[in-house]
Amino acid sequence: MGQVQGKVALVTGAAAGIGAAIATTLGREGARVVLTDLDDARGEATAGAIRAAGGDALYLHQDVTDEARWQDVMAEIESRHGRLDVLVANAGIAIIAPIIGMSLADWRRQTAVNIDGVFLSAKHGIPLMRKPGAGKPASGGSIVMISSVAGLRGSAGLAGYSATKGAVRLFAKSVALECAGARDGIRCNSIHPGIIETAIWEKMPAGANDARRNAPLDPRAIAEATVPTGQLGTPQDVANAVLFLASDASSYVNGSEIVVDAGLMA
Ligand code: NAD
């Protein structure tokens, strides 16, 4: 039996990278997974691969900054599964720029995805996670918010990203306290990945706003220089921590933060 057998899980930003590994891992461990993303081709492919491996997966298009779409996604999950047990707020973007070179439009775009998107996930996810349903696991629901090591300290060149990820850290704790106070059985924790090999590094504009850089960011070189072991993390390293928080093995873990960084922050 899988570690999240029978649970219904929603993963945002699940088409690629860390989100795809989370969705695939939860699907392999018995969850019925709903994947959402902007990238429909890759989202459908990831959901298809989960089904091909014997899992239950549905892909839905979603921009996490669009509140009306959150209502549609929740209605779809309710009609298909009748409940939601695990919510992983993973979708995020990183815009690299020195503070004096960052446009207000870019600041707001990053804030919209990384903070508004996470706020909307809790606002629209909690009511369905609360709703009693037949066969709902006794331990209730688990919300996992993907922050970053950049949410634990400042980052030169990634000030806006750090600000959003620090906000996610404290928002997760606030969600944990509100849900605990309501005695609705929902837990909420944040995960803080270190240097993980995904396309997010390729998407950061190379050198456009940063005179010190003239080449694309190389996560392997950054890990070599900054991680005590020199190790570059994989999406699976993060997915393993999400699996623990999603499962009943973590039923006494609430309002907490798990750092997945091979000692970078130690
Ligand atoms: P990624 O770019 O590989 O994947 C992010 C996914 O989110 C993409 O599929 C993208 O289409 C989707 N997305 C972007 N904007 C969206 C929106 N508005 N609505 C819905 N989906 C949207 O990045 P990743 O590295 O897998 O990042 C996943 C999460 O992990 C992010 O929150 C990121 O900040 C965090 N993180 C990543 C690292 C790292 O080193 N890769 C480190 C710490 C934290």
245 domain-assigned: yes
Q: What is the ipTM of this complex?
A: 0.99
What's the pLDDT score for residue 9?
A: 98
Q: Kindly name the residue from 161, 187, 242, 246 that is annotated as catalytic.
A: 161
The sign of the dihedral angle between the CA atoms of 160, 163, 166, 171 is negative
Q: Residue 239: CB within 6 Å of ligand 1?
A: no
Q: Which residue range forms the structural domain that includes residue 61?
A: 8-260
* Nearest atom (ligand 1) to Cα of 18: 26
Distance 235 CA to ligand 1 centre (A): 11
Identify whether 265 is part of a domain.
Answer: no
DSSP per residue, 164-175 = HHHHHHHHHHHH
Atom of ligand 1 nearest to the CA of 235: 26
Q: Which residue's CA lies nearest to atom 40 of ligand 1?
A: 196
Q: Is residue 196 part of a domain?
A: yes
**Cα–Cα distance between 217 and 220 in angstroms, integer?**
9
Q: How many domains does the chain have?
A: 1
Q: Using alpha carbons, select from 46, 52, 85, 55 the residue that is nearest to residue 186.
A: 85
161 is catalytic: yes
**Residue 138: per-residue pLDDT:** 45
Evaluate whether residue 23 is within a structural domain. Answer: yes
Give CA–CA dist 232/223, Å, rounded: 5
Burial status of residue 6 (CB atoms within 10 A of its CB: 0-12, 13-18, 19 or more): middle
Helices 235-246 and 17-28: angle between axes, nearest 10 degrees: 50
The packing angle between helices 117-130 and 67-81, to 10°, is: 30
What integer pLDDT is reported at residue 134 of this predicted model? Answer: 40
Angle at 116 between CA 223 and CA 90, to 5 degrees: 40
Q: Is residue 176 part of a domain?
A: yes
| Alpha carbon distance, N-terminus to C-terminus of the chain | 35
Other beta carbons less than 10 A from residue 142's beta carbon: 29
193 close to ligand 1 (CB < 6 Angstrom) = yes
For residue 62 and ligand 1, the question of a CB distance below 6 A is answered with yes
CB-based contact 91:60 (threshold 8 Å): no
Burial class (CB in 10 A: 0-12, 13-18, 19+), 133: middle
Indicate whether 14 belongs to any domain: yes
Does residue 266 form part of some domain?
A: no
Residues of the chain with pLDDT under 70: 131-139, 205-216
Burial of 229 (0-12, 13-18, 19+ CB in 10 A): exposed
The CATH number of residue 120's host domain is 3.40.50.720
17 lines ligand 1 (CB under 6 A): yes
**Residue 87 belongs to a domain:** yes
